[in-house]
Structure 1
Amino acid sequence: MYMPKINTLEDITDILAFIDRFSFGILISINQNRVIGTHIPILSNKDPNKLKLHTHIALANNQWKEIKGQEVLVIFTEPHAYISPTNYLKEESVPTWNYMAVHIYGNVSILHEANQISDVMQRTMIKYEPEYYEKWLKLPDDFKDRMLKGIVTFEIDVTEIQAKAKLSQNKTQKEIDNIIEDLKDSQIPSYSLLAGYMDRYSKK
């Protein structure tokens, strides 16, 4: 990812919070000499010193068949918005796009042990719908076994993190304030979300 210094996000606490909030990411690897990706919920162990990611895909998805031992790329992204030049003080200005994204590289391994697979799925349920997890515990074991046999679960040992927050850091505070107000006035939810991040980081 193109990473100008001014847009680089280095605070690991912020990065971990971002990937936890926008956890529906893309797992990218090589399969049959082609780059492929799967959109999937991805968990982290939230350990800044030894970060690991966990995820799963359907057994019918061929991505897992050649993924063992690869360095994969996982992409997390969500709030983004078109930025109109009408927000700038200079007439000679052009449009752009503001966004936040985290790219994580890591070495992937397939989890084979039943307790490892179950742990990842339990954590996934607890994160997204703890009420369903309580129901899951009461379901018949043969049903749960069939469901778990239909997925492939991964652990990714993180080797590199690239985190980017392109939030008009090269503009004046007045222009940033103009953009924030413009985004807040939008009817697009992600624009308002981005405005919140811009407001936060412009005051750091």
Structure 2
Amino acid sequence: MRQNPSFVLGDPDELKRLVRENPWVTMVSHTADGLVASHYPVILDESRDGVVLLSHVGRPDEQLHELGRHELLVIVQGPHGYISPGWYDANPAVPTWNFVVAHLYGVPQLLGDDENLEVLAALVDHFEERMPQPRRMNGTIENADYAARIAAGTVGFRLEVTRVVAKEKMSQNKPAETVERIIGELEGSGPYASAALAGEMRRVRERRAR
């Protein structure tokens, strides 16, 4: 991804927020057989400094990706959407696409069986927390026993991010009144309305105004 100084997302806390709010990621490896891509959920290892991801793959994806042998690219994509030139107070004008995305690189560390089970439990807990009656992986003896049996079909890993290319393109290069107009359109009821993208634009604007 080409970087643009006007749109750099370099704040580690914001990167972590992006991961927390958008945990379904794309993993890309450049292997001996060519490019391989897979899609899995990730969570942050909150006990460690920096941006550190925890996840797992189902066998034999660890072989397809050659996990642990080279760098893995993890793509995290946040809110995005079409921005019509009709929303600008300018003529001529061209459309664009606003988005926030991070390319996170690192060499995965494969986990042993016990730690893999811990990561699987943490993943389940993370997503079940919002449920009115969470079904935790270790919530009952039966669930724990079942999870321990099927865990052999997965490979857990920890990825310490060593390289980041991240971009938040939220019309920062436009006048304030244009940005407000775009946000209003996104919060409306039109065909390209997106409350999530509008919220992200407001967050970026407020953060950059500090």
Q: Percent identity?
A: 27
Residue 82 (structure 2) pairs with residue 87 (structure 1): no
Question: What residue is the counterpart of 2:154 in the other structure?
Answer: 151
In structure 1, runs of 5+ residues without a counterpart are: none
Structure 1 residue 102, shift from structure 2 partner: 1.1
Residue 131 (structure 2) pairs with residue 132 (structure 1): no
Question: What residue is the counterpart of 1:123 in the other structure?
Answer: 122
Structure 1 residue 114, shift from structure 2 partner: 2.0
- Separation in 1, partners of 2:90, 2:191: 26
RMSD between aligned residues = 2.2
In structure 2, runs of 5+ residues without a counterpart are: none
1:94-138 Cα offsets, whole Å, 9 max, x none, are: 001000111100111221x22211110011011001411166542
- Separation in 2, partners of 1:190, 1:57: 35
Residue 163 (structure 2) pairs with residue 160 (structure 1): yes
Worse overlay, 50-59 or 117-126 = 50-59
- Matched AA of 1:173: A
Q: Secondary structure, in 3 states, of the residue corresponding to 2:13?
A: helix
- Matched AA of 2:41: P
Question: What residue is the counterpart of 1:101 in the other structure?
Answer: 101
Structure 1 residue 140, shift from structure 2 partner: 5.8
Structure 1 residue 27, shift from structure 2 partner: 1.1
- Separation in 2, partners of 1:190, 1:124: 31
Report the TM-score when normalising by structure 2.
0.87
Structure 1 residue 53, shift from structure 2 partner: 1.1
Report the TM-score when normalising by structure 1.
0.90
Q: Secondary structure, in 3 states, of the residue corresponding to 1:149?
A: helix
